[in-house]
């Protein structure tokens, strides 16, 4: 299969590209500049110049492909509205190209559904609708188009996709701890986060691309819920720092955007995903990666 991948040079995207190439697919990766293009080429894929704001370039990439994997996101936490608009516009562009073709479209989505009082499942739907919603409501937009000849699947990634080189939430928490002299947790830190190693996440994306029925929601969560206190204590041990309990409000203030997520209790099941796709995650756990020192610097 000829696959067009956005975010191909990123932390998750590079693992997805390697996974697809190993499985025998041809990969073209979106590249914003020379450095991204070189990284895509080094992986063994072909670079395609453009970015999320270059909708004609996105359409050309999709038109030449047998399937699309959309992983890129601006992640501009200083201007989330701009990130949301860009995400929705990009997904709309891909759906317009793929409509009626039966080709697969896998898009990245967030796996954070707070307030359920239980582990979320693949049957739970996001309440993000419309261009002003988180991620531009792109997941619901795509799933609504699944009945119009696009084999849409949503890959909901755990809040922590971990591994060597991770620069996400745990890395930001570690950076904050080094700067302030303590690892903060909200209250007792009993809230739980799902987690998945990036190689396992990449395998899920490939399986969804190859075989997921239209309208599939897949949960990339190898661990249903790691207590945030356990993560903080493992970080504290590595960094030789104390763990400090703060209020959720203080955590959100000290770590804008990230802090609100760190306070959330968002366990998630992947049982249906494993059954449907035959996904069998086998990578290291989050705590194993923390203890391996991947977040020390």
Burial pattern 68-84, b for ≥16 Cβ within 10 A else e, equals bbbbbbbeeeeeeeebb
E strands within the chain? 2-6, 26-31, 46-49, 67-70, 104-110, 151-157, 160-162, 183-186, 192-197, 216-220, 223-227, 243-246
Backbone region of residue 83 per phi and psi (left: phi > 0; alpha: psi in -120 to 50; beta: other values)? alpha
Whether residue 234 has pLDDT greater than 80: yes
Backbone region of residue 28 per phi and psi (left: phi > 0; alpha: psi in -120 to 50; beta: other values)? beta
Average pLDDT on 238-248 reads 97
Give me the pLDDT at residue 261, please: 84
Percent with pLDDT over 90 in the chain: 86
258 — pLDDT class (breaks 50, 70, 90): confident
Average pLDDT on 113-131 reads 89
158 — pLDDT class (breaks 50, 70, 90): very high
Whether residue 77 has pLDDT greater than 70: no
- Provide the CB-side half-sphere exposure for 2 (13 A, CA): 8
- For 135, phi then psi, to 5°, come to 55, 25
Strand partners, 47: 29
Average pLDDT on 84-108 reads 96
State pLDDT tens for residues 176-213: 999 999 999 999 999 999 999 999 999 999 999 999 99
Sign of torsion, CA 222 6 45 9? negative
Average pLDDT on 153-171 reads 95
The whole-angstrom separation of Cα 23 and Cα 41 is 17
């Amino acid at each position: 299969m000829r696959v067009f991948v956005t975010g191909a040079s990123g932390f998750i995207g590079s693992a997805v590209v390697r996974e697809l190439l190993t499985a025998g697919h041809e990969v073209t990766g979106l590249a914003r500049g020379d450095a991204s293009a070189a990284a895509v080429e080094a992986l063994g894929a072909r670079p395609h110049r453009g970015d999320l704001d270059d909708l004609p370039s996105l359409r050309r990439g999709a038109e030449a492909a047998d399937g699309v994997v959309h992983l890129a996101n601006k992640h501009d936490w200083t201007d989330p509205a701009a990130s949301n608009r860009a995400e929705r516009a990009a997904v709309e562009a891909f759906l317009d190209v793929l409509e009626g073709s039966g080709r697969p479209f896998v898009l990245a989505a967030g796996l954070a559904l707070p307030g359920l009082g239980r582990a979320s499942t693949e049957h739970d739907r996001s309440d993000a609708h419309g261009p002003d919603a988180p991620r531009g409501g792109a997941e619901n937009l795509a799933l609504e188009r699944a009945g119009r000849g696009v084999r849409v699947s949503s890959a909901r990634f755990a809040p922590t996709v971990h591994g060597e080189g991770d620069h996400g939430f745990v890395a930001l928490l570690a950076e904050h701890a080094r700067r302030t002299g303590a690892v903060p947790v909200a209250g007792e830190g009993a809230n739980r986060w799902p987690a998945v190693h990036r190689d396992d996440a990449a395998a899920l994306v490939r399986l969804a691309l190859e075989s997921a029925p239209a309208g599939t929601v897949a949960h990339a969560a190898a661990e249903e819920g790691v207590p945030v206190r356990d993560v903080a204590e493992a970080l504290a041990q590595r960094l030789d720092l104390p763990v400090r309990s703060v209020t959720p409000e203080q955590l959100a203030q000290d770590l804008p955007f990230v802090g609100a997520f760190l306070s959330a209790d968002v366990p998630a099941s992947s049982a249906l995903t494993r059954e449907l796709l035959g996904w069998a995650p086998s990578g290291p756990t989050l705590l194993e990666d923390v203890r391996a020192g991947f977040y020390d610097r």
